A and B are shown apart, each in its own frame.
Chain A
Amino acid sequence: MTHSLPVSGSLRNRLVVILIGGAAILAFLLFFAVRNYATQVAQQGQDNILGASVASILDAATIRDGEVEIDIPYASFSMLSTPFDDRVFYAIYQDETFLSGYPGLAVADRADRFQTITFRGEAVRMITAERILIGIDQRTRIRVALAQTQDALSGTLEQISRNAAILGGGFFALAALLSYWATSTTIGQLQRLTDSVTKRGPQDLSPFKKPVPAEMAPLVTSLNSLMGRLDQSLSQSEDFIAEAAHRVRTPLATVRSYAEATLQRVDKKENRQAMRSMVRAIDESSRAAGQLLDHAMITFRADHLEREEIDLVDLVHDLVLRLTPIAEMKDLELRLQSDAPVAYAGDPILIQNAVRNLIDNALKYAPSESAVDIFVTANTNTQIKICDSGPGFPSEEVDTLTARFKRGRNAEGTIGSGLGLTIALDVAKAHGGDLVLSNRPEGGACATLSL
């Protein structure tokens, strides 16, 4: 179950990109908003002083003896002084005539208006103001343009920008940290659910009961209902197999009972032979049915191998106890030879089934009043070896006997389905081992299940 699913991007990355990207945009907006606002405020300050200065110059304008006289107060320029020694330019016009100041500085068309222009290669902030002077017989318009370079302003702006950048950067870093934390917490919930699904054994199909966030509830609900259906269909097929076995075996058991009862009453040789054949045929079919079902179950379990720590000696010992009554019927001795417990991680049901099939075989082929030896060893690799003193495997067939439904040529007259060795081999392979058949030099067969 290692095939990978097609992946369409990462939820975590998407969240991180969206959250951090959003934080970056917000940080930039914050930076520009702060800078813009600061620029406006600073400009406003310069404008106000320029306004006050120009007003004080105009105030000083009078008509004396028919002449326009402007005595520019000291304060008019001193209020404009800055730590950066910004330069101040002015020009005074009477009507259209230039009176005083810097001749290149042209007044604007409209009065009381601030504008930023370039004067002598420098950006300057300029205001134009006008005043109508009314004398005895004249009426004249005085216009004053006052401009100041913006060194102090840009110095202030630079400082504010720096602070705004630090603020924006800090905001971004904090937001990024927060979004990383938020993403991890959110994804963490998913991760926990994934973990609890992964940790489950293949047989555990019970619904999830741990509380999950509301957004994940629909997913978990669907998962639970899927597992419910799976569980149901699994137990249905298990029930079906059990029921099928029941349906097949119960009538077989009845027929067998009849046949056996009849056998007790019949004396004629041919009739007895027929009844015995009938009983044997029934045994054969019921054994085949049982082993087919076992084989299906083993194939399923081998596909979903669930290993647990077991003691093989203990497991084989249980089997020996269970099979001893059968062995005693033939006066066979089942000898389990092992010194110490042999620990192994495997599926106990599979191994039990495999070993039972091998011991069954040995019991079937061993002659009466002999012994079947079972060795459980853990020297180089873990092995369970079962040896009898029967006829042994036909040497030319040793390699083909583990094939499905294949029976030895000397197995005529012994009931069997031909699935026992297949089952044992499948179990060995599922555990990464093998089944080796051999003959003892002193006669008899050995089956070695290595795991």
Chain B
Amino acid sequence: MKFLLVEDNQELANAVSSRMRLDGHVIDHAANLGDATAFVETGDYDLILLDIMLPDGDGRSFLKAHRASDLDTPVIILTARSQVSDRIGSLDLGADDYVTKPFDHAELEARCRAVLRRKAGKAQTVIETGGIIFDPVAGSMSVRGTNVTLRNRELRLLEVLINAPGQIFSKQKLADRLFSYDDDASENAIEVYIGRLRKHLEKSDLRITTLRGLGYRLEYDT
């Protein structure tokens, strides 16, 4: 998916971008409202992540103009301001959701997914490989034509693995991607989800192999 990140803090923008790229998204970064307007005019985005306090103006005025020009690209506000007052203002102006800085990337991903799911239909996100059809946004998967219900964490795990087939992920790395930090889930919980996912993928050509001491890897049956 293609995201536009409007954020003047370079470090934060880099962190968000690199994290989003791990999930296979394409991120354009605009550091001010002028750039953001230019990006929106030329590119077709699935989601906009919008900071409120920008060097050349208020992100909410951009949002207002954006909505006024009949663009229905979903917008998630990134705000560092006091919550209550902004919350009302930004949602009234047509934002789809907001995240308060500093935010947990897992939460941002979850919110992006929720917003994209609500506005589904615009972009084709379906991944078809190894005998499965997987839609990370809708959260649906079918193995050889049979629908399989995935829990959220199984879905996230599959999304992480399927975006980088062949790459080895340690338990810690997977835990970092799957769990938020105020969630005290241990890395051992990863084993539980890997086990469940393996069961779901039994009939497909996809295999999750364990590399002792290193981690897990998604492979194709040969």
Please give the residue numbers on chain A whose beta carbons come within 8 Å of chain B beta carbons, in ascending order: 238, 241-246, 249-250, 252-258, 260-261, 263-264, 267, 272, 276, 279-280, 282-283, 286, 290, 293-294, 297, 322, 324-326, 328-331, 349, 353, 364, 368-369, 413-415
Contacts and interface: CB of A to CB of B under 8 A. Distances in A.
Given A246-B53, A252-B101, A297 B80 contact: no
Interface string B167-186: 00010110010011111110
A258 B19 CA distance: 11
A88 B22 CA distance: 137
Interface residues of B, number: 45
Contacts of B88: 349
Contact of B80 (A253, A263, A368): A253
A322 to B, nearest CB: 7
A72 B97 CA distance: 126
Contact of A293 (B53, B82, B183): B82
B151 A331 contact: yes
B191 interface: no
Residue among A242, A250, A252, A257 with most chain B CB within 10 A: A257
Contacts of B151: 331, 369
A252 B106 CA distance: 17
Contacts of A297: 82, 84-85
B111 A280 contact: no
A286 B80 CA distance: 10
> Which 6 pairs between the two chains have the least Cβ-Cβ distance?
A257-B15, A253-B102, A415-B182, A249-B80, A253-B101, A325-B110
A295 to B, nearest CB: 11
Nearest to B151: A331
Please classify the interface of chain A as helix (H, G, I), strand (E, B), loop, or mixed, using the class held by over half of its residues: helix
Nearest to B178: A329
Contact of B102 (A256, A322, A324, A364): A256
A183 to B, nearest CB: 47
Nearest to B22: A264
Interface of B: 9, 11-12, 14-16, 18-19, 53, 80-86, 88, 97, 100-107, 110-111, 113-114, 151-153, 170, 172-173, 176, 179-185, 189
A276 B172 CA distance: 11
A258 B11 contact: yes
Nearest to A279: B181
A279 B152 CA distance: 23
Contact of B110 (A252, A276, A329, A413): A329
Contacts of B152: 328-329, 331
A282 to B, nearest CB: 6
Contacts of A324: 114
Contacts of B110: 325-326, 328-329
Contacts of B173: 264
A254 B11 contact: yes
Residue among B101, B105, B111 with most chain A CB within 10 A: B101
B9 A267 contact: no
A415 B86 CA distance: 24
Contact of B182 (A280, A293, A353): A280
B113 A253 contact: no
Nearest to A244: B82
B5 to A, nearest CB: 12
A290 B152 CA distance: 28
Nearest to B51: A250
A322 B83 contact: no
Given A261-B18, A264-B173, A242 B86 contact: yes
Nearest to B13: A257
Contacts of A258: 11, 15
A333 to B, nearest CB: 11
Given A253-B101, A325-B113, A245 B81 contact: yes
